[in-house]
A and B are shown apart, each in its own frame.
Chain A
Amino acid sequence: MANPNKKKIVLPVAPDTEAHGPVKHLYSKKVKLPYGVPGHNLTEMEREVSIDEPPALPINEKLNVLGKRTKRVDAIYKVTGAAKYTADIQLPGMLFGKFLRSPHPHAIIKSLDVSAARRYPGVRAVHVLLMEPGGSVERDSGHDAPAETYNMDQLPRLRYVGQPIAAVAAESQYIANEAVKLIKVEYETKPFVLELDKARKKGAPIVFEEVIEDGGNEGDVGVKAADEQKGNLRGPTTGSFLGGPRGDVEKGFAEADFVLEKEYRTQVQTHCCLETHGVVADWQPDLLTVYASTQNTAGVRDDLAELFGLPKSKVRVITEYMGGGFGSKFGAGHFGVMATMLSKKAGRPVKLMLDREEEHLSAGNRPNSHQMLKMGFRNDGKITAIDLTSYGTAGVGLGAGVGRVAQDMYECPNFRTAQYDVFTHAGPGAAFRAPGNVQGVFALEQMIDEAAERLGMDPVKYRDLIDKHEVRKIQRMKGAEAFGWKYKKPGSDPGPIKRGFGMAQGHWTRFINLNSSATVRINKDGSVAIMSSVQDIGTGTKTILAQVVAEELGLMAEDITVKIGDTLYPDGPGSGGSVTAGSITPAVRNAAYKAKMELLGQVAGAWDVELSDLDMKNGEVFSKTDSSKKMSFGEATKKMRTNQVMATASRPDDYGGFEIGNGIGYGRLGSVQFAEVLVDTETGFIKVERVVAAHSCGRPLNPLQVESQINGGVIMGIGYALYEDRILDLNTGYQVNANLEQYKLPYSKEIPQIETVLIEHYGAFSSTDASGIGEPANIPTAGAIANAVYNAIGVRLYELPLTPQKVLAALGVS
């Protein structure tokens, strides 16, 4: 049975090369597509594509809707409170669920008695998990007379504070909250280990005696086959889908004129989605309907279908609006499985939303890291060797690697990495906005700056020398210009408050999810709808889909109805790995094109003209040769023979094929950010004053929304750099700041002036040539701030978050 806590389709890190080769076409055609960056190196690229592909789109400047700042189509529902999120769903007869969770970081349940909870007035169902953490698998199904008490052989070991044990469903949330406390549990506590360094030591309490078969792919790099699990250590992983070690690192160091060797540490960060994880599950004999706050409706459906032995056609998952996920909301989750179980038992819908504390404890986090980075440099700036060892803990989960930036961002013939996962008795990690790479950049980009200083070079110019990425070069240039970049001598300000400038860069692989399909439906009354299970997690997916169809049909975005986030429609991709825009928009455009051709064919018949003579633009259908033949889109649709024309399309292979297997596209999404900070050397406080963020995401579909995404990435990066830190009480294993007032986040007063620089970059990859931006926007921020802080005070900080205490310690102030 699958583990429902396993986050699925976060990153297609294991491309399935054997299973599918590139798709073959009976008929193909050649199209010329824009290629490169307008104003720099724009040319055309000829690609051979399927005959079914729509014509090439010109660059944004020549389009009507795409590339234009377009209002979010659902903003009106958000600003008026009409948008219904999972947390807002109220169904007739709905019950409320509440979990009982482990109060101990490591314990055995000696006995468990639910009888008092079951008898509590208003309680309608109780369910006890009989599987290991996360494996909330239906094991006591078929208990017609469910057990009242359980013995220790039946119950899973508890491995973190907050691990779900059981739950009740009751007539109100108050009743559920009270009843769950009546579950009697006798615990036998065991020794536990919370700290990364201690968990690695000999004699540390072991988190998993057994080898964990589950690969776990929450993070990025750092998960290794089960046979490499020793004690709490798992790994090392020595490569990624981009390859393994290369060259000879020792030889590289021998050839270096100087070698830098440093240790860096990053903290555990929690996602803090405003809407907590949760579902409303409604088990009916003919259909299980689940409203879920998820980044992947199709994934939740697949999990529940598998776990409950239902055909996928009998599970419907709906996510109309969702209040943030940032990587943590994939799969049915223990709450999804539990709510479904309770609904099945009670015969009524059950709402089970985590509370804020549960959210921190059990719903995922960005693992911490301890990175040992060693790099060799020649006096001409060339990097001769990179050696990176890392340890990180995702608690009872896996995926605490530090990504691929060291492997892939700069030219270097000799590279080696060893990335270890370390198990601890803490809540499981989950994918978190550019997993791995955010941690990796904090180390790598500080070391690159150190080398630049050693070489007496400006950090921007030094990167121009060692970074061969074309687009990033333009980003550095444009970003530096917007920022007014001028190298300043570190720590050179007089007075106690010092200003500093810094920059850092990152990259993200172009992931494509080929399982991305959509239907476009044109109705006789002239209305148009898009349907797909893909969800809008706040990034603006609904709006860009409307824009894509509007562009194709010569309409405006607001003319299009977007029905997404429902598994009754064709499967869309999960929204993680920044795959959504690049995966679903070509499918939607291709479906719109097919539907358009169908409609035009019917109009051509009615007008008795050639199909090739017709086109659509500015709300009209017209003949290209006879200007008398013209009518509005709405009139044209009245000519349809049937009440609607509909077409479904799926994401084709990248034009020109994939770099690796299916789903990893050529080209990296580069990003460069510049930061200006003020550091008060008397109090240690750091204030970020200004950030310039230079990014590219292929063809930007809606610059207004891209800007918002970049702002969001930067602000989250500021939180990571300066404030956020999950703090566990070492005596109890309990998170002391499992709330939103002591877990520090950036609020309005911490927001700097943010300027975005958007580079249009055409790669001729698909019929929209769009890519995602969510993750790239978050990658370089903490690195840029760290470099700026160094520039301000002349002392480097190697550990996140950069708190006043650490600043003062680094300055030797006590």
Chain B
Amino acid sequence: MKNDSKERSPEKKKQGVSRRAFLRGAGMTTAGTVALASGMLSFKPAEPAPAKTALMGPGETEVSLTVNGQQRTLWIEPRTTLADALREHLHLTGTKVVCDRGSCSACTVWVDGTPVNSCMTLAVDVDGREVTTVEGLAKDGELHPVQEAFIEHDASMCGFCTPGMVMSCAGLLERNPNPSLDDVKLATSGNLCRCGTYPKVFDATLAAAKKMK
């Protein structure tokens, strides 16, 4: 498995199929879709990726996107994920990479307002689009109510899952200002927290929803 044919890319070698190639076909994936019961990943594509007619790569290609309200232009290899573009190229390390394959949602950011797993999204596919990361959630020095509530309710322990949790929970409140406990559970159902902050994440999100009213 590990030392097979040389002509394949490292990604192909590791998983038998090319994940990145698959990504491109699947477009973006919505965060929070890992079902424990089935162990299956379900992919819910967001908007279809903008059609790129020209062949890209293997060299660097230009991508411009809005990150936390700022216009950014990057020269990156086409295989670069959005997570890597944010972390390695823009030094926005708040977004965490934990599984690098869509099973933990630690890397959740918003693309045009929708939470996505940035490790499962190619940076070239968000060309021209608007990305919000955990660093951009606070507005004018004011924390987002979900961030406030996370602090108040002790919803972060080691904190490594926290940026993803915050983005999933804040994303929920953007689309549903009046969530039930089950709604919160559903919105965070793809977010892994090994420290076990879940009960406090639920409390915090429900409290934030109340406050936002």
Contact = CB atoms under 8 A, between A and B. Distances in A.
Nearest to B148: A79
Interface residues of A, number: 69
A538 B159 contact: yes
A455 interface: no
Interface string A478-495: 000000000000000000
B160 A85 contact: yes
Interface string A319-337: 0011110100000000000
A642 interface: no
B198 A741 contact: no
Contact of A711 (B151, B158, B160, B199): B199
Given A103-B3, A741-B34, A80 B157 contact: no
**DSSP majority for the B interface?**
loop
Contact of A274 (B92, B158, B166): B158
B96 A274 contact: yes
A749 interface: yes
Nearest to B190: A747
Contacts of B106: 274
A395 to B, nearest CB: 19
Contact of B198 (A76, A177, A355, A711): A711
A285 interface: no
Contacts of B158: 274-275, 321-324, 537-538
B200 A708 contact: yes
A571 to B, nearest CB: 22
Given A76-B151, A708-B200, A741 B160 contact: no
A79 B154 contact: no
Interface string B23-63: 00000000000101001010000000000000000000000
Interface residues of B, number: 68
A754 B199 CA distance: 8
Interface stretch (A423-431, A560-568, A713-721): A713-721
Nearest to A732: B1
Contacts of A71: 151-152, 154
B154 A72 contact: yes
Contact of A324 (B6, B133, B160): B160
Given A75-B151, A274-B104, A322-B158, A356 B99 contact: yes
Contacts of A79: 134, 143, 147, 150-151, 156, 159, 162-163, 166
Contact of A708 (B77, B87, B143, B197): B197
Interface in B169-190: 184-186, 188-190
Interface string A170-192: 00001001100100010000000
A354 to B, nearest CB: 12
A537 to B, nearest CB: 6
Given A79-B162, A178-B10, A739-B103, A745 B194 contact: yes
Given A71-B151, A71-B152, A712-B197, A274 B143 contact: no
B91 interface: yes
A712 B161 contact: no
B87 A538 contact: no
B98 interface: yes
A68 interface: no
A88 B93 contact: yes
B194 A716 contact: yes
Nearest to A74: B159
Interface in B130-158: 133-135, 137-138, 143, 147, 150-152, 154, 156-158
Interface of A: 71-72, 74-85, 87-88, 90, 101, 103, 174, 177-178, 181, 185, 271-275, 321-324, 326, 355-357, 537-540, 704-705, 707-709, 711-716, 723, 732, 734, 739-742, 744-751, 753-754
